[in-house]
Structure 1
Amino acid sequence: MKIKAGMEKIPGGMMVVPLLLGALINTFAPGLLRIGNFTEELFVDGALTLIALFLLCAGAQINLKNVGVTVGKGFTLLSTKWLVGGLFGFIAYAFAGADGLFLGLAPIAIIAAMTNSNGGLYVALVGQYGKSDDRAAYSILALNDGPFLTMVALSIFGAMGFVEGLFSIVDFVAVLLPIIIGMVLGNLDEEMREFLGKGSDMLIPFFAFSLGMGINFADIITGGLAGVALGVMTVIFTGGAGYLAFKAFGWNPIVGASEGSTAGNAVATPAAIASANAAFASIEGIATVQVAASVVTTAILLPLFIGLLVKRLEKKGKYEAYMGR
């Protein structure tokens, strides 16, 4: 039985198939794999550990001569996503109705969902379609984890004052350190670089499945059509902007598009904002379920969107050229 070959026929299959399988199990039989010990640690709670190991392997592939490219790509991803999310949030605030909603969407949900990307999904997609410096760019992109950049956008809009304490430099270092360790090992020993390089591809389906075990399809129903629409907007507009930005710099545009998702931890952002400013308390509930729906929608839609973009580039004969950059 050719399981691997069959999965690879699906766009982003080595990531999306395990992820959807995990989501199906979590939705309809959530206790199936939550039986403790090695099974639960690997298949349910292992995502962060496996991603950390993946990042260490990816870091080992970075040549210090090219580290500037990694930083440039990371800040391009980060700034592009934040600017697009902030722009849509500004439009939503400017044209919101008396109920504080814009076309049924809470502006705070738009900013939270569109400025915060799913790092695990990015790593999985770039692990399949990108290079080592693209994977390592996640160390910069991780700055959009949590409510920090949402708070910055809101403070710029004058909706609230800047609140300290929502961003920790320790958290940023904690993301960066596995990459640095891998980079040191790879640059000290070429054989170690080759050895660790073998681990990257193998880890993808395992942490993708574990990520799926954190997704519940019921969130789409709870969030309603508005939440699904927010997820579609996030994929098309933030992913599309990343694609165009990377293309403009001559980098692989598929990597830029891979930021077009909403992170699971963004679900907590409306509550964090409301706790800092009571003016947001009235829309905290609806904003939370809309962000949750966007998380699930983007997790399903983004890999398919990436697959279509890859096929488009292949049809034009440009994909192989980008893979070399």
Structure 2
Amino acid sequence: MRIKATLERIPGGMMVVPLLLAATINTFFPDLLRIGNFTEELFVNGALTLIALFLLCTGAQINLRSFGVSLAKGGVLLGTKWAVGAVFGLLAYMFAGSDGLWLGLAPVAVIAAMTNSNGGLYVALVGQYGNKDDRAAYSLLALNDGPFLTMVALSVFGAMGFVDGMFSIVSFIAVLLPILIGMVLGNLDEEMREFLDKGSSMLIPFFAFALGMGIDYAAILEGGLAGVILGLLTVFVTGTAGFFVFKALKWNPIVGASEGSTAGNAVATPAAIAAASASFEPLADIATVQVAAATVTTAILLPLYIAFLVKRLEKKGFKFENGEMVEGNA
């Protein structure tokens, strides 16, 4: 039975399938796994512990030794994604209704999804259309994994008076410390980075399942369609912004557009934010579902959007050779 291969054929399958399976169990058989001891601790109560370990593993992938053009490209990609996601998150908070939602979207989900990116999808796309500097930029992009950039945006909005429940410095450090420890370990020892890299992907289905045990289908019905809309915004707004920023800097614009996605790890961000500040807890479940839906949507749509952009550039006389975009014959 090829369980892993089957899950990998489904966009975001390693995260979405366990999440929905657990939501099914929690909706129809809520006491099935709530039997105490190891079973309940792992499959029901283990989300925050598993997420913390996941953050440590992903922190180890942040390579501080990457400099030069790749660092510049990574910084531009990171900054563009964060700025666009933060602006839309601010709009969501400014125009949210009495239920705390904007167009059906939880503001924290908007920030979590739009500032995050699918590193595997980025590497796959720039592997086809980019060069070695573009691929090396991925080491810096690991900074948008996890809740760090979301917490930065929320802290800024809190200082501006748009968000209640500012993070204390202790809460902020408590969320970031696993990332920082992982970063130190990964940069001190390359073998430790490779060792912890395995945990980055291995832990996703386990914390996704534990998160799913806090969700029922009422929340999915409420947030699923809005999550698809969030995915569309992520692809067409952040992807297009990256395209034009890279084009303005005379870099390959397809690389800029390749950041227009949301990774499965972003599903953990609402829970991490709620753990750091209880004021975000009421919308944590629906935000989790919306980020999950956005992950699937972007995984399907971004490659199609990239193919569309490539064809448009080729019609304008550009072609792609050895990872570079060059002017050809129209």
1:137 equivalent to 2:148? Answer no
From 151, 166, 176, the equivalent of 2:175 is 166
| 1:22 maps to amino acid | R
Match of 1:320, SS state, is strand
Residues 76-131 of structure 1: per-residue CA shift (max 9 Å, x gap): 00000000000000000000000000010000000000001111111111111110
Using the alignment, how far apart are the partners of 1:273 and 1:99 within structure 2? Answer: 19
| 2:227 maps to amino acid | G
Identity of aligned residues (%): 60
| 2:285 maps to amino acid | G
Contact kept, 8 Å, 1:220 with 1:227, in 2: the verdict is no
Residues 230-284 of structure 1: per-residue CA shift (max 9 Å, x gap): 0000001111111111111100000000111111111011111111111111111
Task: Call closer, same or farther: CA 1:19–1:145 in 2, change over 3 Å.
Answer: farther
Name 2:324's counterpart in structure 1: 323
Contact kept, 8 Å, 2:220 with 2:286, in 1: the verdict is no
| 2:10 maps to amino acid | A
Task: Call closer, same or farther: CA 1:165–1:98 in 2, change over 3 Å.
Answer: same
1:146 equivalent to 2:146? Answer yes
Contact kept, 8 Å, 2:271 with 2:284, in 1: the verdict is yes
Contact kept, 8 Å, 1:223 with 1:292, in 2: the verdict is no
Task: Call closer, same or farther: CA 1:175–1:247 in 2, change over 3 Å.
Answer: farther
Residues 53-91 of structure 1: per-residue CA shift (max 9 Å, x gap): xx9xxx9xxxx9x95111100000000000000000000
Name 1:95's counterpart in structure 2: 95
Name 2:197's counterpart in structure 1: none
Matches within 5 A, 1:4-23: 22-23=9-10
Task: Call closer, same or farther: CA 1:226–1:78 in 2, change over 3 Å.
Answer: same
Task: Call closer, same or farther: CA 1:173–1:155 in 2, change over 3 Å.
Answer: same
1:294 equivalent to 2:280? Answer no
| 1:128 maps to amino acid | Q
Match of 2:230, SS state, is helix
Matches within 5 A, 1:8-87: 22-23=9-10, 67-87=67-87
Contact kept, 8 Å, 2:116 with 2:261, in 1: the verdict is yes
| 1:105 maps to amino acid | L
Match of 1:314, SS state, is helix
Using the alignment, how far apart are the partners of 1:310 and 1:267 within structure 2? Answer: 30
1:278 equivalent to 2:278? Answer yes
Stretches of structure 1 that go unaligned for 5 or more consecutive residues are 1-17, 32-47, 182-210
Name 1:193's counterpart in structure 2: none
Matches within 5 A, 1:162-201: 163-167=172-176, 168-172=179-183
Name 2:24's counterpart in structure 1: none
> What is the number of equivalent residue pairs in this alignment?
247
Matches within 5 A, 1:241-252: 241-252=241-252
Contact kept, 8 Å, 1:220 with 1:292, in 2: the verdict is no
Using the alignment, how far apart are the partners of 2:319 and 2:180 within structure 1? Answer: 37
RMSD, aligned α-carbons = 3.7
| 2:77 maps to amino acid | L
Stretches of structure 2 that go unaligned for 5 or more consecutive residues are 19-53, 194-203, 210-216
Match of 2:260, SS state, is coil
Using the alignment, how far apart are the partners of 1:252 and 1:311 within structure 2? Answer: 14
> What TM-score does the superposition give when structure 1 sets the normalisation length?
0.67
Using the alignment, how far apart are the partners of 2:85 and 2:12 within structure 1? Answer: 32
Dislocated runs of 4+, deviation >4 Å: 18-21, 24-27, 173-179, 218-223
